[in-house]
A = this chain, B = another copy of it.
């Protein structure tokens, strides 16, 4: 006979398994058809649960959405952190960050939309659901990673010393998001009309972008 501890752990794991299954399907559908156009019915059908079961594991549709956002941000944070810790060379770290973001955008295309669209969370409002707090804090942690990267570049004499750090962090976030998102969504256009590959366009853009804060102009 199993101990109570194991019992409850197994149960929790099972519940988590179901939550994950639902989230995975939901995310796929959100990406394919958009969040608003994806109904709980769609999720239920695709995930092969009954509609009512969805409500056993999630309070409502909004909770599903928020969980996906948080989850994907966690993953992004882990990846960026891992990649920046491994690489020692600064530009290699930059490429690594860009690569992670790109991979990330391919895996969770929804994320970038939300990253950009999501209305500012009012962190001080006590009515803001705790998930939003978590999302906000995670966002700050990711910012922190970029922040360290910029500071390292300055102290190594690679980046110009006159750049304003918080603005530059945000500037990189914004530009990289724009570049990656557009490359991802206009892939066909790029390949048809620009006579190059998406990958090549991204490489070119990342190099051009970093150029904007390098101490010495580099030929791309």
Which residues of A line the B interface, CB within 8 A?
A: 36-37, 113, 116-120, 122, 160, 162-164, 166-168, 170-171, 173-179, 181-183, 185-190, 193-196, 201, 204-205, 208-217, 219-220
Q: Looking across the interface, which residue of chain B has its beta carbon closest to that of A183?
A: B174
Q: Looking across the interface, which residue of chain B has its beta carbon closest to that of A211?
A: B212
Which residue of B36, B196, B216, B220 contacts A217 across the interface (Cβ within 8 Å)? B216
Q: Looking across the interface, which residue of chain B has its beta carbon closest to that of A168?
A: B208
Bound complex: CA A8 to CA B195 (Å)? 45
- A205 with B162: CB separation less than 8 A: no
Q: Looking across the interface, which residue of chain B has its beta carbon closest to that of A187?
A: B120
Which residues of the other chain, B, contact A176 by a CB distance below 8 angstroms?
Answer: 178
What are 14 A-B pairs with beta-carbon distances under 8 A?
Answer: A117-B185, A163-B220, A164-B204, A167-B196, A167-B204, A167-B205, A171-B205, A174-B178, A174-B181, A175-B179, A177-B182, A178-B179, A209-B209, A211-B213
CB-based closest 10 A-B pairs: A178-B178, A212-B212, A174-B182, A175-B175, A36-B36, A174-B178, A211-B212, A120-B188, A174-B179, A171-B205
Which residues of the other chain, B, contact A216 by a CB distance below 8 angstroms?
Answer: 217
Q: Which of A185, A212, A214, A216 has the most CB of B within 10 A?
A: A212
Q: A144: shortest Cβ distance to chain B, in Å?
A: 12
- B170 with A194: CB separation less than 8 A: yes
Bound complex: CA A211 to CA B195 (Å)? 26
Which residues of the other chain, B, contact A183 by a CB distance below 8 angstroms?
Answer: 174
Q: A57: shortest Cβ distance to chain B, in Å?
A: 16
- B177 with A220: CB separation less than 8 A: no
Q: A36: shortest Cβ distance to chain B, in Å?
A: 4
Which residue of B116, B174, B220 contacts A205 across the interface (Cβ within 8 Å)? B174
Which residues of the other chain, B, contact A177 by a CB distance below 8 angstroms?
Answer: 178, 182
Which residues of the other chain, B, contact A173 by a CB distance below 8 angstroms?
Answer: 182
- B201 with A162: CB separation less than 8 A: no
Q: A204-B171, A211-B211 are in contact. Are A220 and B182 (CB under 8 A)?
A: no
